[in-house]
Structure 1
Amino acid sequence: MRRRFLLLVALLLPLPIYAAPAAPVPAIVCFGDSITAGYGAEPGHSYPDYIQKALSARGYRYHVVNLGISGNTSKDGVNRLKDVLKLHPAVVIVEFGGNDGLRGLPLSVTRDNIDAIVGTLRKAGSRVLLAGITLPPNYGPDYIHQFDEMYHAVAAKYRVPLLPMLYANVYTVPGTIQEDGIHPTAKGAELIAQNFLPLLLPMLHK
């Protein structure tokens, strides 16, 4: 009788509720130079910060990681790939080449480096969004054309989306570029983030 009573009590007691472990939040890595790092802007006002805000506002559950370092060339990007790979990112926005061009580095070297960055990330299973940039007119039309085409060639080779000019519709807006004439203000960074969204959103899942 006592056993039956204890069994009845056990059946009537509420079952313990165990919460399933939370799924890890996938990472979007913004990988680049000073433009990505947010050089000259207040903390929280780089374009990766604005991408995070835009995604969160739209209900996308991703963690945007800023791996931009001021002064980096494409070679530095190759050397830092291990820092990106250890995060196992779902998506990587690759933004390199501006410092290469301003320093007049051989285009073949820059292209090989960007090719290595994109190829390594794709092989690791990350989706890649490639960002291009152009050079001032004094570099000459031939050099600028070859520089611009470099991004198109790499994007076509790996079939990754390309934002040909991340400053599109930015330079023409007052208050978007710092006094150095190169780096975006907070307002400019927000516009750059908006430039990325039409290419980035189709790569994500809600």
Structure 2
Amino acid sequence: MRWLLAWLLLVPLLASAQPAATGPTVLVVGDSLSAAHNIPAASGWVNLLQQRVRQQMKAPPAIVNASISGETTAGALTRLPGLLARHRPSVVVIELGGNDALRGLTPVQLRGNLEKMIVASQKAGAKVLLLGIDVPPNYGPAYRQRLKEVYAGLARQYKVPLLPFLLEGVALQPGLMQADGLHPTAAGQPRVLENVWPLLKPLL
């Protein structure tokens, strides 16, 4: 009986010593476009991403959504060191810039903050995926072009994949955008994920 008791005590220890089959950690740092603004959190594209990797991957990555509605590149840059230290992500998805533009931040300032985030993420050993944004036409073609060049230039310089416009095929589409004209509805979230997935999947 003693050997049986000893074996029963040992089994949990052996089980706990076996490494769990887990994939990398994906850290999403974004604003309201990634924070499921004004829709159920379960409907957001980041949550849909978690569901997809669990269904399709043997060792699915943990998806950490550190997105905050109203977030700017300056605010995210301040939070990033702590997020990197805590989660040690293998992939960092950066989706920022919309609030900077709405607040009148110059493209030069936007570029500087995004660049620091990319550099910090790469120094921490993470791959980076950059998700670009656009602004309404009333900002003028010159400003919109400079904004596009910020994302394209950073992608070239730091050799990171870029999705030029996160809401491609969603913006301006009836039923896919909320009344504010800025945020996708729950019905638009799967299309947002389809935009991101082809670029993110190779990084996992």
State the TM bucket, normalised to the shorter chain: 0.7 to 0.9
1:110 aligns with 110
TM-score (normalizing by structure 2): 0.88
What is the distance in 1 between the residues matched to 2:198 and 2:41? 25
Amino acid at match of 2:37: Y
Question: Post-superposition shift, 1:110?
Answer: 0.7
Question: Post-superposition shift, 1:25?
Answer: 4.3
Q: Which structure has the greater CA radius of gyration?
A: 1
Amino acid at match of 1:128: V
Question: Post-superposition shift, 1:175?
Answer: 1.5
What is the distance in 2 between the residues matched to 1:172 and 1:139? 16
What is the distance in 1 between the residues matched to 2:113 and 2:180? 27
Tell me whether 1:78 sits opposite 2:77 in the alignment: yes
SS of the equivalent of 1:44 reads: helix
CA displacement, residues 104-146 of structure 1 (integer Å, 9 cap, x when unaligned): 1111111100000111101110111000011111111111100
SS of the equivalent of 1:35 reads: coil
Evaluate the alpha carbon distance shift between residue 172 and residue 182 of structure 1 in structure 2; reply closer, same or farther with a 3 A threshold: closer
- Kindly report which structure 2 residues correspond to 1:127-206, keeping only aligned pairs within 5 A, or say none: 127-204=127-204
CA displacement, residues 129-165 of structure 1 (integer Å, 9 cap, x when unaligned): 0000111111111111001110011111110000000
What is the distance in 2 between the residues matched to 1:43 and 1:159? 32
What is the distance in 2 between the residues matched to 1:174 and 1:137? 18
SS of the equivalent of 1:31 reads: strand
CA displacement, residues 71-97 of structure 1 (integer Å, 9 cap, x when unaligned): 111101111102320200111110010
1:26 aligns with 24
What is the distance in 1 between the residues matched to 2:150 and 2:95? 13
Question: Post-superposition shift, 1:24?
Answer: 4.7
Amino acid at match of 1:32: G
* Seq. identity, %: 39
Structure with bigger helix share is: 2
SS of the equivalent of 2:28 reads: strand
What is the distance in 1 between the residues matched to 2:93 and 2:193? 11
Contact 2:95 2:131 in 1 (8 A): yes
Amino acid at match of 1:37: A
SS of the equivalent of 2:157 reads: helix
2:53 pairs, out of 50, 55, 71, with: 55
